[in-house]
């Protein structure tokens, strides 16, 4: 399935997002430098995607879609041992969940033969050599930001010796880490990435895609640049940390020069692959830094390994699969990316902005239901004990197309405990002894009696209902200060409700300047589990169905654990920003 629209690309279009990358694309199309925009999203399959990846996904696929181009999903699988087919499938699932489809599914490992031929070409031209320095020695020889590097003792090996050694590396003759292939560029360069960077290393470990076929693997910078060129990528979009790598990216692309050396692509053509190499252009943009979050795969993996979360899809995690399970929506995430735009200025985005985008998307689309999470029994004493009726409620107050539902109503109800106060605080507008409140869709009730258990805790409220105050009757116009929701105690379904919040309790958990570890900032209140009661129409839903539980927040039926006879709901976000209130206090 293509991401490209049927209309032709229009370099002069004025609708849609405007940012410096899209302006570059417009200029390239207008000047004829590119005929069709080609982008790629190239994650490493060594973990699941997180919220930071969502920005790159929306940009890579979005630009291809906007300009009638093509976008590949490329698995950058050059680091065997840390990669897993489960991560590959998870990445594909997450991209589709966000609303995108790739034009081609590629792997860097698809091009291993081409990379090898390209390396032989560089060696033959005196642009690469086999080095015997260990990793520690290579770092010592590399120099510093203020001191030039020193050439390796093996830098001046002959072309013939280098070709022989590299072919023997390929044959598996040498031990892991004993030799590397390095580019011969400039050990005195002010850019450390150009000080003879490694292009290949020996790793005798099975690869998730190629098995035991290769005892050597290309380094990321080499494989990434050549993969872009092989796939005909026109605009290679990267985050700002790759800006210093751009000279090496350009060196790899220009030194190998696949456009003018089609013989290097013969392994792919033998597979009947239509290969149209390009001279890609790398463009950098600022990554998504989110407060109260981490986006390090290593640290996310550590949370899982330490058992601080229940897996990569734990709703407390800011992995895409975790956010999805919590109830965040693709539309809300895309809305955030649209509002943030694209720039070269690094900044930290307040987590509240993400939550507000999720609220906005869910407010438009989520049906309403009633649920009680901290129940207090309310008995309407002037109704018969066997009273039962079905009330009709709209599923959404602003969208009639979502229809209506019936909600059972009986004499005994559950209400939220916080909706009653014996000694009300200032401004309290709900139920108090002797006071009145409107029951949602039912009418006005007055509290006549407060009953308590042996411990002195309020256990039951006994009220009378004004039957003339129901909506549509003249008494409905009578004013009371508060309206509360409820569920019928006889008909409500018990549900496990998981109340999720931010995983970290400080805005910058990675900041260890005060001597604390990022793990010290894990929020112990990020997950609370309560037994609640939901109306039957909430329980009878498929997994991964979103609702607004009235007055409580936005929830989703858990995609793995929910069943109609044993419902499980996760809170996605509260109705309002509770963190802002906590900071103000």
Q: Is 239 annotated as a binding residue?
A: yes
Residue 419 marked in a binding site? no
Catalytic residue among 92, 142, 170, 287: 287
Residue 403 assigned ligand-binding role: no
Our answer to whether residue 287 is catalytic in this structure is yes
> What are the DSSP E strand ranges found in 345-387?
348-349, 368-369, 371-372, 375-380
HSE-up (13 A, CA, CB side) for residue 405: 17
* CA distance linking residue 67 with residue 9, whole number of Å: 5
Is 449 one of the annotated binding-site residues?
no
Find residue 563's DSSP bridge partners.
566
* Spatial separation of the C-alpha atoms in residues 136 and 144, rounded to whole Å: 14
User: In 3-state terms, the chain is what percent helix, strand and coil (to 5)?
Assistant: 30, 25, 45
Give one word for 292, left, alpha or beta, with left for phi > 0 and alpha for psi -120 to 50: left
351 is in an annotated binding site: no
Strands (E), 235-374: 235-239, 281-285, 289-290, 348-349, 368-369, 371-372
Q: Which long-range contacts (CB under 8 A, 24 or more apart) does 477-480 make?
A: 478/444, 480/436, 480/437, 480/438, 480/444
Please state the φ and ψ torsions of residue 316, each to the nearest 5 degrees: -80, -20
Cβ atoms of 418 and 434 within 8 Å: the answer is no
Q: Is 56 annotated as a binding residue?
A: yes
Residue 55 is assigned to a ligand binding site: yes
Listing from the earlier edge strand, what are the strands of the sheet with 436-439? 483-484, 436-439, 443-452, 458-466, 375-380, 412-416, 487-488
48 assigned to a ligand binding site: no
Query: Would the annotation count 539 as a binding residue?
Result: no
Annotated binding residue 438: no
Q: DSSP states of 248-280 as a string?
A: HHHHHHHHH-TTT-GGGGHHHHTTT--------
Quick one: which of 151, 41, 25 has its CA closest to 100? 41
Q: How far is residue 488's CA from residue 305's CA, in Å, rounded to a whole number?
A: 43
Is-catalytic flag, 460? no
Return d(Cα 294, Cα 297) in angstroms, integer: 9
Q: 368 forms bridges with which residues in the sheet?
A: 548
* CA separation for the pair 483, 514 (Å, rounded): 47
8 annotated ligand-binding residue: no
Distance CA 243, CA 255 (A): 19
Phi, psi (degrees; rounded to nearest 5) at 363: -60, -35
| 340, burial (CB in 10 Å: exposed 0-12, middle 13-18, buried 19+) | middle
Is 44 a catalytic site residue?
yes
51 is in an annotated binding site: yes
**Active-site option among 195, 297, 359, 440:** 297
Is 46 among the annotated ligand-binding positions?
yes
Annotated binding site for L-glutamine: 76, 220
Annotated binding site for ATP: 44-46, 50-56, 239, 287-288
Annotated binding site: 44-46, 50-56, 76, 220, 239, 287-288
Give me the active site residues, please.
44, 287, 297
């Amino acid at each position: 399935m293509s991401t490209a629209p049927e209309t032709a690309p229009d370099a002069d279009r004025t609708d849609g997002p405007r940012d410096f990358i899209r302006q570059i694309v417009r200029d390239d199309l207008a000047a004829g430098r590119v005929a069709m925009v080609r982008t790629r999203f190239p994650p490493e399959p060594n973990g699941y995607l997180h919220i930071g990846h969502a920005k790159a996904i929306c940009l890579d696929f979005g630009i291809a879609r906007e300009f009638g181009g093509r976008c590949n999903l490329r698995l950058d699988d050059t680091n065997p041992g840390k990669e897993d087919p489960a991560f590959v499938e998870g990445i594909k699932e997450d991209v589709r969940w966000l609303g995108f489809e790739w034009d081609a599914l590629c792997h860097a490992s698809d091009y291993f033969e081409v990379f090898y031929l390209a390396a032989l070409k560089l060696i033959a031209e005196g642009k690469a050599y086999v080095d015997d320095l260990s990793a520690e020695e290579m770092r010592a020889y590399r120099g510093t930001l203020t001191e030039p590097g020193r050439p390796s003792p093996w830098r001046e090996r002959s072309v013939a010796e280098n070709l022989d050694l590299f072919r023997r590396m390929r044959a598996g003759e040498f031990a892991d880490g004993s030799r590397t292939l390095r580019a011969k560029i400039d050990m005195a360069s002010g850019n450390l990435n150009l000080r003879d960077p490694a292009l290949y290393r020996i790793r005798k470990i099975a690869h998730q895609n190629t098995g035991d076929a290769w005892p050597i693997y290309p380094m990321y910078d080499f494989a990434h640049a050549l993969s872009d060129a092989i796939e005909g990528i026109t605009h290679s979009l990267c985050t700002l940390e790759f800006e210093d790598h751009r000279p090496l990216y350009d060196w790899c692309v220009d030194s190998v020069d696949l456009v003018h050396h089609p013989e290097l692509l013969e392994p792919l053509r033998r597979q009947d692959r239509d290969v149209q190499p390009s001279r890609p252009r790398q463009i950098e943009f600022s990554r998504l830094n989110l407060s109260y979050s981490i986006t390090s795969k290593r640290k996310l993996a550590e949370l899982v390994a330490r058992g601080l979360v229940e897996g990569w899809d734990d709703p407390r995690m800011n992995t895409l699969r975790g956010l999805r399970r919590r109830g965040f929506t693709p539309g809300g995430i895309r809305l955030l990316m649209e509002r943030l735009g694209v720039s070269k200025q690094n900044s930290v985005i307040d987590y509240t902005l993400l939550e507000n985008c999720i609220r906005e998307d869910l407010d438009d689309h989520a049906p309403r239901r009633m649920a009680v999470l901290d129940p207090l029994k309310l008995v309407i004493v002037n109704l018969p004990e066997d009273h039962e009726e079905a009330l009709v409620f709209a599923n959404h107050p602003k969208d009639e197309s979502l229809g209506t539902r019936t909600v059972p109503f009986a004499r005994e109800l559950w209400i939220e405990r916080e909706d009653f106060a014996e000694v009300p605080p200032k401004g309290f507008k709900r139920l108090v002894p002797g006071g009145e409140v409107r029951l949602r869709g039912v009418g006005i009730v007055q509290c006549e009696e407060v009953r308590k258990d042996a411990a002195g805790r309020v256990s039951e409220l006994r009220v009378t209902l004004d039957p003339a105050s129901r909506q549509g009757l003249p008494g409905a116009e009578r004013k009371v200060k508060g309206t509360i929701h409820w569920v019928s105690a006889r008909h409500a379904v018990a549900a496990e409700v998981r109340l999720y919040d931010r995983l970290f309790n400080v805005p910058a958990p990675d900041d260890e300047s005060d001597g604390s570890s990022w793990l010290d900032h894990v929020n112990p209140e990020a997950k609370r589990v309560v037994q609640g009661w939901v109306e039957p129409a909430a329980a009878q839903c498929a997994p991964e169905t979103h609702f607004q539980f009235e007055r409580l927040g936005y929830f989703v039926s858990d995609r793995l654990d929910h069943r109609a006879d044993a419902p499980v709901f996760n809170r996605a976000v509260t109705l309002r920003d509770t963190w802002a209130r906590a900071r103000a206090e």
